[in-house]
Chain A
Amino acid sequence: MAKYLLLKHYRGAPAAVNDVPMDQWTPEEISAHIQYMNDFAARLEGTGEFVDGQALAPEGMWVRYDGEGRPPVTDGPFAETKDLIAGWMVIDVDSQERAVELAGELSAAPGAGGKPIHEWLEVRPFLTAPPTITE
């Protein structure tokens, strides 16, 4: 088994085929989309491949250490930041082929006009603990 992170972006991914902002869809199209996402997660729970799924608020901040005895420095949010993560799903699957297959299904979630969004999702394998048997 191998874990993969499926990353969804607010910004920074190549443009989707059906690239219409959600507030321009009809309320029914929004419901259909949410239903599709919920069903997808439920199905992966059923197959034993779901690990975690979370959504992130679009606005956050940058923070860094500013030296001994000083409070951390905060900055942002930066509207110009190129890459903005919207959320993720972690899956635990048998192969990279399966990870790609599932990301493809997730990307087919319906959007404006009830048609698949064809959204680009980033698929990143986890770095795992070393195996017990190495030779």
Chain B
Amino acid sequence: MTSGVDELLLRSLTPSVLGILVRRGADFAAAEDAVQDALVEAVRVWPADPPRDPKGWLVTVAWRRFLDAARADTARRRREDLVDEEPAPGPVPAVDDTLQLYFLCAHPSLTPSSAVALTLRAVGGLTTRQIAQAYLVPEATMAQRISRAKRTVSGVRFDQPGDVATVLRVLYLVFNEGYSGDVDLAAEAIRLTRQLAAAIDHPEVAGLLALMLLHHARRAARTAPDGSLIPLAEQDRRRWDTTSIAEGVAILQAALARDQLGEFQAQAAIAALHADAPTAEETDWVQIVEWYDELTRLIDSPVVRLNRAVAVGQADGPRAGLAALAALDDSLPRHAAVAAYLHERDGNLATAARLYAEAAQKAPNLAERDHLTRQAARLNTRRCH
């Protein structure tokens, strides 16, 4: 979408407009197409002729598009018994509709990649082209993925209650994809989670929002001008976004006060402890280990245990960290990288260099690979010269 239109306002209206069409009896797939058409039309028309009631405008245009499409469809099938008159745009339970849309787009019958694509389009109001660019796939591929997803959920009743946990997993996936192309997926995930938090009062929704805000706050400090990764301990903490941190901490504290701990609140608590430390040396690693223990009770995943080993290494020394690591399968992603780090801190530079090089071979992305290769190089050149 182009300048001249408040794109975020436009996109924030998407779910409620779509919800209204579905409530009026439009089927989800056709309604979704009609809303996309209306968004495109808004971008074209609004700069010269801004509406007084943006949402009412979108509902009217989208409904007309839906009727046009339905009539064309009807004519084609030689049937003429479909919807005709336009119902008055009366008061609508917009918040409830928004929530239902989140549930539908994260429906358990969808694969994660389909749920992500459908959420970004139907709830986020992004175009297929933008989503395709963000995930580096051809636009035609993304269009297919979205229309298949819509077919998959076409039989799901719109007012069926859903599971918040599935929605949170989808939003977490979007956030973790980070930034590529002209769409900032991390910022978009925060916007969608914020919108969800306004629609439902749930401590884990708040927990995920806090987690995102706390990580997003460090973004500017995470990469050097040349694109290389800067690890947490070496980041310039003055470049952290204190507004975002303060908001994340406040949201987290309110959530924790309700005493219904979940994995996202626990992860946010760890992120908050990092955000709280004025320098890396002042990090409260003992408390961080306690939160990892909590997290292990909630979700006992090998990845959590690996991160816990790092924290133990900081709290109780590298030997303790290596002991915690020894209990884990060494084929785990990033196992070699953690081992390298702990060995370096323990003074075994030759072992550390070998493990960093091994970790680079197994790195899941280029930025990490380059970072790990640099770590190996740093130790190798230091030992030689």
Interface, chain A (partner B; CB < 8 A)? 22-27, 29-31, 34-35, 38, 55, 57-59
Check B226–A23 contact: CB distance below 8 A. no
Check B228–A23 contact: CB distance below 8 A. no
* B20 contacts chain A at the CB level, 8 A cutoff: no
13 contacting pairs across A/B (C-beta < 8 A): A22-B373, A23-B353, A23-B356, A23-B357, A23-B373, A25-B381, A27-B377, A30-B373, A31-B374, A34-B227, A34-B228, A55-B366, A58-B361
Chain B residue numbers with a CB within 8 Å of A59 are 361-362
Expressed in whole angstroms, the Cα–Cα distance for A114 and B381 within the complex equals: 14
Check B374–A30 contact: CB distance below 8 A. yes
Interface string of B347-385 (1 = CB under 8 A from A): 000000100110011111010011001101110110000
Count contacts between A and B, CB distance < 8 Å.
43
Check B370–A23 contact: CB distance below 8 A. no
Q: Chain B CB within 10 Å — which of A27, A29, A34 has the most?
A: A27
Contact pick for B377, options A26, A35, A38, A58, CB 8 Å: A26
Q: Closest residue of chain B to A34, judged by CB?
A: B370
For chain B, the count of residues having a C-beta within 8 Å of the partner chain is: 21
Expressed in whole angstroms, the Cα–Cα distance for A5 and B171 within the complex equals: 37
Q: Closest residue of chain A to B361, judged by CB?
A: A58
Expressed in whole angstroms, the Cα–Cα distance for A35 and B356 within the complex equals: 21
Expressed in whole angstroms, the Cα–Cα distance for A31 and B227 within the complex equals: 10
Chain B residue numbers with a CB within 8 Å of A26 are 377, 381
Interface, chain B (partner A; CB < 8 A)? 226-228, 353, 356-357, 360-364, 366, 369-370, 373-374, 376-378, 380-381
Check A24–B226 contact: CB distance below 8 A. no
Check A24–B228 contact: CB distance below 8 A. no
Report the 9 A-B pairs with minimum CB-CB distance, sorted nearest first.
Answer: A23-B376, A23-B357, A27-B374, A26-B381, A27-B378, A27-B377, A25-B377, A30-B374, A22-B373
Contact pick for A23, options B362, B366, B380, CB 8 Å: B380
Chain B residue numbers with a CB within 8 Å of A27 are 374, 377-378, 381
Check A31–B373 contact: CB distance below 8 A. no
Q: Chain A CB within 10 Å — which of B226, B353, B377 has the most?
A: B377
Chain A residue numbers with a CB within 8 Å of B226 are 31, 34-35
Expressed in whole angstroms, the Cα–Cα distance for A38 and B364 within the complex equals: 19
Check B377–A30 contact: CB distance below 8 A. yes
**Dominant SS among interface residues on chain A:** helix
Expressed in whole angstroms, the Cα–Cα distance for A26 and B362 within the complex equals: 21
Q: Closest residue of chain B to A23, judged by CB?
A: B376
Contact pick for B228, options A25, A31, A55, A58, CB 8 Å: A31
Q: A27-B377, A30-B374, A58-B361 are in contact. Are A38 and B227 (CB under 8 A)?
A: yes
Chain A residue numbers with a CB within 8 Å of B353 are 23
B57 nearest CB across to chain A (Å) = 39
B351 nearest CB across to chain A (Å) = 14
Chain A residue numbers with a CB within 8 Å of B228 are 31, 34
Chain B residue numbers with a CB within 8 Å of A58 are 361
Chain B residue numbers with a CB within 8 Å of A24 are 377, 380-381
Chain B residue numbers with a CB within 8 Å of A35 are 226
Chain B residue numbers with a CB within 8 Å of A57 are 362-364
Chain B residue numbers with a CB within 8 Å of A38 are 227
Expressed in whole angstroms, the Cα–Cα distance for A22 and B370 within the complex equals: 10
Chain B residue numbers with a CB within 8 Å of A29 are 377
Chain A residue numbers with a CB within 8 Å of B361 are 58-59
Q: Closest residue of chain B to A35, judged by CB?
A: B226
Chain A residue numbers with a CB within 8 Å of B363 are 57
Chain B residue numbers with a CB within 8 Å of A34 are 226-228, 370
